Structure 1
Amino acid sequence: MQNTDAKKSKENLRYELSKILPRAQVQNLDNIVNTKLLSDIRSGKDLALYEELANEQIKRLREGIESSLNITPIKEFGTNYAEFYHKPIEAFKKLQAEQSGQIAGAYERKELGDIDLVWGKVWRDEKGEIQGYGLSKILDKHPEITPEILADIINNGTLKRQKNEAIQILKDDYKVVLKSNWKGEPTKNKWIVTSYEAKGEKGSSISSEPLTKGDDLPLNSAKDSTTKDAQSQINPIILQSNAHIGSGILGGMVAGIEQDENGNYTFNPQNFILGFLGGAAASKATQAAFKNPKIKAKAEKFATILKIQAKKDSKMQYGIFKRIEQSPKYGSKMDILGAQNCNAKTLEFVLLKNKRIAVSNLAPQIAQKLGFKYPNDVHRTIQPDEIIHTLTRHGADSDLVKKSRQKAVTLDEISKWMDYADNADIQGLSKDKSGNEVLVSAKQLDNGYYVVIEQIRKGQNELSYKNMYFENGIVDESVVGRKIELAPQLPPKL
């Protein structure tokens, strides 16, 4: 059999090629390799030839696209990934992954024709101020800008032409600058130089000074990773450690995002839910709210601020945020964060990113008693919908808490839901209003009791947080449904 690692690498390579090359060309590569190196397949030595042939095919494809569309990329900007012509979202992501090169004609606008996106270069001058051009500068200066935001500005922004041929596109709080020259020579297409805040940020030097022949512009030092494993395409967003960066990112206050007298920003989840999401307490309502581009963009902006602050104050928390971003939302490949890493800050990030997470694995003997088919790999998960439901129903500003005077549930307490559940006096099985099977845990306290509800998702092999609340009085065993005796929870498997 073919070497496992080589076989996997070849499969990954083949998948990447299938997104660029026609199916017949990918199949042809297989045929050529299997014919020429049939004797070496057993050891996986065909992979090098496969890569060589693949790169040659891709080069020819790009040259063919450029010829048929009459594209003339600027040589100094490096490799032109022509397969992303008129594909702005994919073009942005490609350059972010490669961190080099260009896509001639990534964008198109009726009044301007094709617009090029280049990776460019970014640096700091002696004053520490950001200098440069292209997408690299945009992401360094404004890490909150997403492919969708940039495409929206270019497609729908208001045009403003400068005397020196620079073109500004203004929309919302942003201004994108286009140029039609390079080192003093005219270019066929307009290309994106930079982006900055339309209000309060200096940018006149960008729009008034052409890039001259004296600029030191080494480009395209990185190798094209089109044929690399898909995971190598993921690159972290470049962040700046600046305590006051929120003032540049937010461009206007948002419900739940509050600024103190020193200019620092904090996140109030309760106000975020009630004001920003419009009190969305149900799963469908939450998802509908996050489909609103403005809501999603503002949430992404503050998530970026949290990352910046964490990178400055807590490398560990910053690492947790990155793991959340990179983890799948479902399935056995979800990253198990660890109970010790689930805190209020973690859940703030989960809310802003609208991302469900796996915190730990349930002890196998508990999972077996609850009837899971695969008890050795049951995730304990939590998702934004349920956090929002709890804070809306049982948080500090909820009507129920105000009327009943029961203790309000905080985000910090939700983050410790497993501790509350595992240290309960009584537990039982019940059904929620939708007929889903749930595990209910309750414990008597000095001034009342608490209840934690977790949904038993056997199809997903998950025990998922659903709700928790505090109540006045003495706990009645009937609150947990059919009582069940579970063995003490072992330390979670990380």
Structure 2
Amino acid sequence: KLESERLESEQAFLKAKEQENKRKVALKKKLEHERGNAGNIESQTKIEVGEDIPTQTQEQLPKSRVRLNEREIYDLDYAIVKAKDLKPSFTTGGTQKRTDMNEEQIKSISNNFDPKKIFGSGGFEDLPIVLNDGQVIAGNHRIQGMLNFTPKSRYIYDKAIKEYYHIDLKPDELLVRIPNKRLNNTEINNLAASSNQGRFNSESDHAIAVLSHYEAKLKELENKLDADSIYSLKNIVAKNLNFDKATHPNVTDSNLALLMYNMPRTKTQGIELLNRWQKEFSNDIKSYEKVKKMFVDNAGSFHNLIHDMNFPKVSLNAYLSDIMDRSFANLKNYQTTSESLKDLSEKFYKTSSLEMFEKSDQSTSDISEILGSAVARFARFDDPSKALFEALKSDNIKKGLKEFKIADATKDMFNPDSKEFKDIDIYDFTHYLLMANREPNENNPTLKRLIEAVKDMQKESEKGIKKQKLETPSEWGHNYSEFKNDGLGAINKLLETKKGFVAGAFYKEGLGDIDLVWGTPKTKDSNGYGLAHILERRISNEMKKGLSETEAKEYAVNIVKSIPEVLEKGTKGTDHLGRVFVDYGNKRVGLNNEWKNEKLENHWVISSYELYDTEKQALRSTPQAITKEKTFNSLNSVEPNPITNGAKKQESEQANAKKLAKLESEKGIKRDYSDTNLSIDEIKKLIDESPNNGKDIIVIGNDNLTPEIVEYIHKKHAKVGIERLDEDEITAFNFTYPKNAKAIIDYQGIQHALNKHEINSPSVKFSKQLPITYEDISNYRDIVKNADETIKRDNRIISYKQVNGYFVVVEQINRNKSEFIFKTMFKEKGDYKNAPDYKKNIKERK
């Protein structure tokens, strides 16, 4: 009997353990979407660290220190750097964790510097903290103010440095702090975000800071939070996220962090939309605070619903930022809920039968709008937070689903269309929210029409999923359709499963849907394709450079996580062989719309990812650069068909031969069109079709370099010759190939000049500089030829031209002893001979 009881007890234990494991697996599956939230944590932002700038570490000074919490303490060295090497930033991303620039703060530092506000303050408030490459971790406003010092402020600064630190600085030097040890990506991000704690210029600054502050605890928070009231729930969140037991939990900050964590980084990012809507509600700040508080207070409710295994198909966080965006918009645009419902009903019910849901991204947007309006309704209640809390409680959702005949605990055996709770999707959940907290037996025709529209959307969505399965290759595996239009979530999903694909993971205007496929590494039977092949190549390349396998894998994963940014912000292009790509900075994502020589219907797929060294970036569109990587833009996983490919290759070669013959017959075989008046279209065609490297680079002629062509070169990421160099220029630099020596301009030089000196740049806003335009750049060679003075420094040539109260400076670089390439250009008021830059160049020229 005892043995029987023991076996029974053991079986019960094993059964319970098995059920618990199943529950964990099921929860993990639902939380796969949350893996996409890694992009919301600021420590995951990839920081591209460049080459070290020259520094003079001040060993005689005791180290400074900043403390994030009891675990994260960083020692800092004092160091002297050249002011020109520092890189303050006011664009969100990288080491900049603010979203707004405070111009008054910069002016105050530059015009009325007060050392007592900075020196000796300790922590982040003291001297700026920078990375070894000059990027600013803490103190972007302080650095920019110091770069714009008036003579009076500079004098006060130098004097204070002497008094505080016993250091004599040169006029072009600044004293900063640099981390004593090299920091990894996470440490850099955490330092940058924490530096803004308590010093927020905006709502978004606050959100970014708290998101970083609670990062470690947010990652651990995977359990459902049981609470019987909204007050209790807020405090449970705060208690769970509080890692410093010596301090009292901050309820508002911890709940804001959790809310932001559960929002995917989409076009309506939760972080950015807080700023936007606060400005929109500037005349009605109470309404703004009402909506914001309702969402922040219910951060735990959203967290619970995302983790609720009663509703595994409701991935609410995919819609959360859109819901908050639409909730703000709804309250702003409508006086009452009735007006909102009427407008939505007319918009969607009348058009639902007119195939308005053909585009799945449109239907996603539509359901977000209706869902946002359903949530916005609660903001009009006497206690919005409590009302929404009650509506989002699991038991109340089940009760409502049953009451409104949407779903039940079990299927109705007499109704094949009936659903169980576990089967409801985002459309069913929207239906529930539209009905929740209404008067019993409320007769509202407008509401009924809107619910019918939601049902129509649901049917169209289901059709789209079925149709999609027929249009994608079976070799790709399972389509994780829940990650459609969630690029980062799709990447994280495929990294975890290492199989399958996501149809429409991305969308880009002018291209449409872009799929992401896991694919396969290179094998004896396959050249490799998809994300697996991209990772394989990146890992291999980095290990050849000396990284360990672990480091190379981490690097490769961070690289592929930049694909969403490239596709969102990049420019579409086509190389000379007709292959489509999207370029952003030094990154290129290759796209293909064919599989095994058959065209994919209405969508593209990511086929390659290239990362270019900035010095070699201009070579990337050359035939040599593309041929070298035979897998570039190649998706096919099998060996090419020699007959089909041979015919296609022959056709391609014939087409290229015809193109070249046409070009040569029209223009001859020369590469210099300085003596030819070309139309804008002819110039653009030359730029598009001609080689752009070495001796074969096209020279369009200085007269043909118009503002429109400068803009075209800039936007097309192109490079082109302007004219042959004259004898004096060739002699000055002892060119290796004097006959081929040319003046060249490329998009990088244009980008550099505009970034630093266009109308909205800090250099123009806060100093004596005048803005640089495309027209100014189009005249840069005339400035060079008619310069009042030209200075040669190493491989640089700097030309100065005085013009009616201001002067123009053009800088060119001698590259490869065969070309002068445009580097930058700026204009400044005054006499160039009084400019610090000129005096420095005179002193240091060789």
Same-fold call, TM cutoff 0.5:
no
Q: TM-score, normalised by structure 1?
A: 0.35
- Which has a greater percent of strand? 1
Q: Which entry has the higher C-alpha Rg, 1 or 2?
A: 2
Q: Which has the higher contact order (CA 8 A, sep 6+)?
A: 1
Q: TM-score, normalised by structure 2?
A: 0.24
